[in-house]
Amino acid sequence: MSHVPIIDFSPFLDPQSSPEAKRGAALGIDKACREIGFFYVSNHGIDEELRSAMLSRAKTFFEEATEDEKRFISIKPDGPGGGDHARGFQRVDGGGKGEHEARA
């Protein structure tokens, strides 16, 4: 059964954290990236109000932005005058809402 791992980020925020604790968290991220491709982060220190505002704005964008607005910020291909093929909006086709979620 596959699942999206939850990585505790607190060792990187706690000045008292040991190098072993930081290494353990880093290895968890490394494993998640190599084996699953995604991970959740817990104890990240991001203010709940800021996190909620970001999620609200993202929801508004995906539900209300026009195709022209999405195309304007779409991922640009590598090459002269282009981008790095890594940043921007990318349409994920197939399925309805929630179909992109990892399933057991």
The structure's pTM equals 0.58
Residue type, 98: G
User: Does 76 have pLDDT greater than 90?
Assistant: no
The answer to whether 39 touches 32, Cβ cutoff 8 Å, is: yes
Average per-residue pLDDT for the chain: 84
Q: How many angstroms separate the CA atoms of 7 and 20, rounded?
A: 15
Note whether residue 37 is domain-resident. Answer: yes
**pLDDT tops 60 at residue 94:** no
CA distance 22 to 9: 8
**Domain, as residue range, for 39:** 6-45
Q: Flag whether 69 is in a domain.
A: no
Q: Above pLDDT 70, what percent of the chain?
A: 80
In a domain, 31, yes or no: yes
Q: Does residue 18 form part of some domain?
A: yes
Q: Which residues contact 1 (CB under 8 A, 6 or more apart)?
A: 104
Does a structural domain hold residue 57?
Answer: no
How many domains in the chain? 1
pLDDT digits (tens, 9 = 90+) for 28-61: 999 999 998 889 999 999 999 999 999 999 899 8
Show the DSSP H helices in the chain as ranges.
Answer: 19-35, 48-64, 67-72
